[in-house]
Structure 1
Amino acid sequence: MKCKIISLFLLMHYGLLHAFPQNDSLLERLNHTIEQASMYDENKLRQINLLRAELVSTHSLSLREQFEICQQLYEQFKVFKFDSAFAYAQELKSLAEKMRDSARINYAGVKLGFVLLSSGMFRETGDYLAVIDVHKLPDSARAEYYALKSRYYYDLSDYSSDQYFAPEYTRLGGACIDSALVLFKPHSFSYDYNYGLLYQKAGNLDSAAYYYRLAVAHKDLTVHQTAIATSSLGNIFIRTGKKDSAIIMMTIAAMADIQSSTKETTAMFILASLLFKEQDVKNASRYIEYAVADASFYGARLRKVQLSAILPIIEGEKINTVEGQKKMLFVYATIVTLLLLALVWLAIIILKQYKKLQSAQQTITAAHAIQQEINEKLMEANKIKEEYIGYCFQINSAYLDKIKKFKKLADQKLSDNKYSEVKYLVNNIDLKDEREQLFRNFDRIFLRIFPNFVTVFNSFFKEEDQIKLKEDELLNTDLRIFALIRIGINDNVKIAQILEYSVNTIYTYKTKIKNKAIIPKEEFEERLMDIKAL
């Protein structure tokens, strides 16, 4: 409940509820925000161009004024685009050296360290941090330095993830946060957030959640700070098994990242992995693609590595099937081994039967391969059968309820001699809507069994010939024809009856689509049947 109250406050406070009624889901709001991402990026670029124009203006600027403008440009780029942020950080250092200002020189080193760490360049980050003279920094910059250094050690700990180096990196990160906390204003956002981080890395998740909630509850947060705090709180919820709360926090963080044009982020791809585990394949796919695009735009090497870690999650659903196949292979291997031993024994006793036994061995091996293929097909067929039996029961139950209600109402009207109203009831049945609902249900259950069907099917064609689905479509008529074939309905007559087309129309659809394929026609349906169920 506390999480939902905090999330509602954030949505209202930062304008994330704009253009949405209260009962719409957070994910719908995130999807809308994604559609507006280019607008937020254009606003960011507009501010950047104004600063650049000021920097190259005709009137002469002092080195101090140039430094201040470059610092503003750095702040615009630091979570937006790595190479530009790095360039302006270098310019800050160059200007500071021209001014012979040791405080600014060291401050520029902190900025360089931040962008290098954000890009995943650990060695280079360490080099820059090592030469910074922290004693020449003012308190605010010194706090920023220690906070950056703590993140550097914590990232090294996460990256090494072993029992030897990781604990020492974690200890060093904690020591740096301790130094930063002395310099932060008590109960400020940075103070509360870094306390939460300290406790999180120490394994004290309850205390970490407490301080992250304090950070989230600050009234003067920037949108970027909102993203940082909610994403961190979401990570605590993930580690404590509160998946619903984690999804809420990561969704808010992802929206805030988009609104602040933050490309160096983790919230979106963490949200994608959470939704994939909840079998929301459509949104998970959209969000992981967006996260990959952001990481590539920013130039974040570390984020690209982290994104590659989500692939095992996508494959995770197949582990049980693979384990079952391994057990079957072990049993068959044991049987074959026993048969081979028997053949050897028989060969020693009856030498004259050797060639016949060898032939029998080859026959058994071939039969084993055939049996294995049959078993795999049976397993897939059973999966399809189970899903569609459940689907049919559900649909039939729904239709029985409708018929029961219709019969009861019709009996009542007939008993009251209201024949015209009975005729109205009959004419009011929307067969088109019922048929479309039937198709939607079929599409949904089919994609649960074959989530990669559309992607694999489109790979049979050139890009310009691939089937493009509308926003609200799961499958269309072309795809449904071949979806029915994939689950074993090959007869054009049956397909025509199901889809309510003529047999000639179905034949024309199939021929037209196969003619566009880049694979041989005779291999088309074989390749179609090779599309695997989840």
Structure 2
Amino acid sequence: MIKRNSLKWMAVIAVFLSFFPSLWAGSSDSLLVKLNQTIEQRPSYMQRKEEALETLRQSLSKLSAGNVEGRMNLYEALWQENRSYNTDSSLFYATALSQLAQQAGNEEQKQNALLHRATALMTIGMFKEADEIIKPLREGGVLPGQRSQFFHLCRSLFGLMADYAVTAQEKAAYASLTDDFRDSLLTIYEAGSNMYRMIYADKLTAHGKYAEALRELLPFTPTGDGRFDAGYHYTIAEAYYHMGRIEEARHYYTLAAISDMQSDTREYIALRKLAVILFQSGDIDRAYHYLTLCMADAKACNARLRILEILDTFPVVNEAYLEKKQQQQRIITGVLIAISLLVVSLTFAIFSVLKQKKALQQAQTDLAHANSQLNEVNRTLVEYNEEMKRQNQLITETSYLKEAYITQYMDQCSSYLEKMESFRKRLRQLLSAGKTKEIQQALTSYNQEVETELAEFYDSFDTTFINLFPTFVEDFNALLREDEQVQLKPGQKLNTELRVFALIRLGITDSTKIAHFLRYSVTTIYNYRTRMRNRARGDRDELEKQVMEIGKKALKGANPPQ
């Protein structure tokens, strides 16, 4: 009975394995990586296999019952395709071939069909039944065309019977038969051929001559025949394994398993033995999943012998795998608990941070407000400092001007006092002498002299002021419209209008004081100031303030007159 759900089995296994990335990427062995990739591609191999089987079945259904030769050829082809893929189907087609060969009286196909049935029964694990089928051939002989198949079958069958024999006597008897049929195989192959080398090395390995077996087997170049290459690599791996060279054995078991996977067979040994080695080396995950695949294939193939072999190892691996998963689950549980505690801690930390952040924001707001107030205070201080500088400059300037004019006018006052003392003495002398007329003349002369002194005083004032403010006339005119500027006479330093504003520049802004100083009426001084403001270039009310700024830079570096 053909199992049409085989593709589903393989797809399930491939998907199952794909959930374990550590299985595929965790090993540094490139061959294991290649094996994993090949296993992932198994569904496509199985799909091609099913398509080939379906093509053969369709061809068989189209043949008439009378086309015996054609039908036997298709039965043979279907058996070949199913012998390591589906044992039930291979037994079915072997039986059908046997019946058709009986009807046709074809002796060669009859023997061929018997050998096919025995092979299927051996794969199922029915050793005695298989032996009963081939017993007539062992006693009566086989046709030349069936010798190779017969010897291979007998070597495998009696080898398995020796492995599963209960008593030592039976084991020895079956082992002897195995050697006999192995030797028979050597007689039909050319010495030095790959098949001969593999069979001979198998004989050497069976007798414990592992090094000799390896010398016979190596070197080896793959032939491209997947099933043969798998068997050859498996034979090399067996020799290495029995020598205790596990790494080399693992290498060749892996090569054999890759060839098995690529040749779409479900009945194999190498992957199971590789899984055992991996398990012994601590690679529990990979061993478990390889054995799971082996079991799935063996069940799909109904290879009960392989199922029994897998069950001999699987419970131990499965228990270790489950224990590891439970341990991982415990670790995951612990990690989840730790993460939960961490999340709780982080939650509290976040709330604390948010609270601190809020407090920090409030502090920043308060700080910003304080900074704003501080900036305002600083701005006020800057204004105060500027005002102080201005006042200090004004005081310095005023002090300088006072010093300059005090020095100048102390000299003039001293001169005037000497002249007045001299004039007083003269009047006293004239008065003592009774010279009234001369006194009258002296007074007249004194008035003229006062006018002269007053002119000299204003000239001295002009000179001193111009020395203090050399560009006063130009700077003052710059404040007036061009057609309203003051024009001085040749040799004239200041005129009355300029003296009024010169006194203003010196800080004397009271019109009464200015009038008294210049010997004019207050009204006259007021009119001078008003007319001059009307002649201003800019804002008339700013003229006198602008006059106060004339010469300030020059005064900063000036020294008072000595």
Name the TM-score, length of structure 2 as normaliser: 0.53
Q: 1:68 to 1:134 in 2, by over 3 A?
A: farther
Matched residues in 2 for 1:242 and 1:159: separation? 26
Residue number among 308, 323, 338 corresponding to 1:305 in the alignment: 308
Residue 44 (structure 1) aligned with residue 53 (structure 2): no
**Residue type of the partner of 1:145?**
F
Residue 245 (structure 1) aligned with residue 248 (structure 2): yes
Residue 501 (structure 1) aligned with residue 352 (structure 2): no
- Tell me by how many angstroms 1:125 deviates: 0.8
Residue 482 (structure 1) aligned with residue 482 (structure 2): no
Q: For residues 485-534 of structure 1, what are the alpha-carbon distances to aligned partners after superposition, in whole Å with 9 as ceiling and x for unaligned?
A: 9xxxxxx6x5546xx4225999xxxxxxxxxxxxxxxxxxxxxxxxxxxx
Q: For residues 454-475 of structure 1, what are the alpha-carbon distances to aligned partners after superposition, in whole Å with 9 as ceiling and x for unaligned?
A: 7448xxxxxxxxxxxxxxxx77
Q: 1:305 to 1:250 in 2, by over 3 A?
A: same
Matched residues in 2 for 1:48 and 1:61: separation? 22
Matched residues in 1 for 2:217 and 2:121: separation? 26
Matched residues in 1 for 2:244 and 2:226: separation? 27
The structure with the larger Rg is: 2
Partner of 1:159: 164
- Tell me by how many angstroms 1:101 deviates: 1.4
Matched residues in 2 for 1:305 and 1:179: separation? 29
Residue number among 255, 265, 269 corresponding to 1:266 in the alignment: 269
Residue number among 117, 125, 131 corresponding to 1:120 in the alignment: 125
> Do the aligned residues in 2 keep the contact of 1:273 with 1:313 (CA within 8 Å)?
no
Partner of 1:131: 136
Partner of 2:408: none
Runs of 5+ unmatched residues, structure 2? 1-24, 349-562
What is the DSSP-based 3-state SS (H/G/I as helix, E as strand, rest coil) of the residue aligned with 1:303?
helix
Q: For residues 400-445 of structure 1, what are the alpha-carbon distances to aligned partners after superposition, in whole Å with 9 as ceiling and x for unaligned?
A: xxxxxxxxxxxxxxxxxxxxxxxxxxxxxxxxxxxxxxxxxxxxxx
Matched residues in 2 for 1:196 and 1:103: separation? 31
Runs of 5+ unmatched residues, structure 1? 1-19, 318-450, 458-473, 486-491, 507-534
Q: 1:142 to 1:51 in 2, by over 3 A?
A: same
**217-226 or 267-276: which moved more?**
217-226
- Tell me by how many angstroms 1:114 deviates: 1.3
**110-119 or 217-226: which moved more?**
217-226
Q: For residues 349-379 of structure 1, what are the alpha-carbon distances to aligned partners after superposition, in whole Å with 9 as ceiling and x for unaligned?
A: xxxxxxxxxxxxxxxxxxxxxxxxxxxxxxx
Matched residues in 2 for 1:176 and 1:38: separation? 37
- Tell me by how many angstroms 1:115 deviates: 1.5
Matches within 5 A, 1:340-489: 452=322, 455-456=325-326, 480-484=331-335
Q: 1:66 to 1:505 in 2, by over 3 A?
A: farther
**Residue type of the partner of 1:277?**
Q
What is the DSSP-based 3-state SS (H/G/I as helix, E as strand, rest coil) of the residue aligned with 1:145?
helix
Partner of 2:151: 146
Residue 236 (structure 1) aligned with residue 239 (structure 2): yes
**Residue type of the partner of 1:246?**
A
Q: For residues 7-35 of structure 1, what are the alpha-carbon distances to aligned partners after superposition, in whole Å with 9 as ceiling and x for unaligned?
A: xxxxxxxxxxxxx9xx8621111111111
Residue 225 (structure 1) aligned with residue 228 (structure 2): yes
Residue 27 (structure 1) aligned with residue 32 (structure 2): yes
Matched residues in 2 for 1:46 and 1:100: separation? 32
**Residue type of the partner of 2:183?**
D
- Tell me by how many angstroms 1:132 deviates: 2.4
- Tell me by how many angstroms 1:244 deviates: 0.8
- Tell me by how many angstroms 1:255 deviates: 1.3
**Residue type of the partner of 1:79?**
S
Residue 104 (structure 1) aligned with residue 109 (structure 2): yes
Residue number among 212, 224, 231 corresponding to 1:207 in the alignment: 212
**Residue type of the partner of 1:483?**
G
> Do the aligned residues in 2 keep the contact of 1:276 with 1:284 (CA within 8 Å)?
yes
Partner of 1:56: 61
Partner of 2:188: 183
Name the TM-score, length of structure 1 as normaliser: 0.55
- Tell me by how many angstroms 1:218 deviates: 5.0
Matched residues in 1 for 2:185 and 2:136: separation? 18
Partner of 1:289: 292
Question: What percentage of residue pairs aligned between the two structures are identical?
Answer: 23
Matched residues in 2 for 1:315 and 1:258: separation? 23
Matched residues in 2 for 1:268 and 1:279: separation? 16
**Residue type of the partner of 1:242?**
R
- Tell me by how many angstroms 1:178 deviates: 1.5
- Tell me by how many angstroms 1:58 deviates: 5.3
Partner of 1:278: 281
Residue 192 (structure 1) aligned with residue 197 (structure 2): yes
- Tell me by how many angstroms 1:134 deviates: 7.4
Matched residues in 1 for 2:93 and 2:114: separation? 12
> Do the aligned residues in 2 keep the contact of 1:81 with 1:299 (CA within 8 Å)?
yes
What is the DSSP-based 3-state SS (H/G/I as helix, E as strand, rest coil) of the residue aligned with 2:85?
coil
Q: How many residues align?
A: 322
Matched residues in 1 for 2:144 and 2:38: separation? 38
Matched residues in 2 for 1:27 and 1:127: separation? 42
Matched residues in 2 for 1:231 and 1:109: separation? 28
**Residue type of the partner of 1:502?**
V
Q: For residues 167-223 of structure 1, what are the alpha-carbon distances to aligned partners after superposition, in whole Å with 9 as ceiling and x for unaligned?
A: 221111111121222122333333222212222222222233333436xx2553411
RMSD value, Cα: 2.9
Q: 1:146 to 1:270 in 2, by over 3 A?
A: same
Q: 1:302 to 1:212 in 2, by over 3 A?
A: farther
- Tell me by how many angstroms 1:60 deviates: 6.8
Partner of 1:11: none
Q: 1:180 to 1:505 in 2, by over 3 A?
A: farther
Q: 1:307 to 1:173 in 2, by over 3 A?
A: same
Matched residues in 1 for 2:240 and 2:120: separation? 28
What is the DSSP-based 3-state SS (H/G/I as helix, E as strand, rest coil) of the residue aligned with 2:223?
coil
- Tell me by how many angstroms 1:315 deviates: 8.9
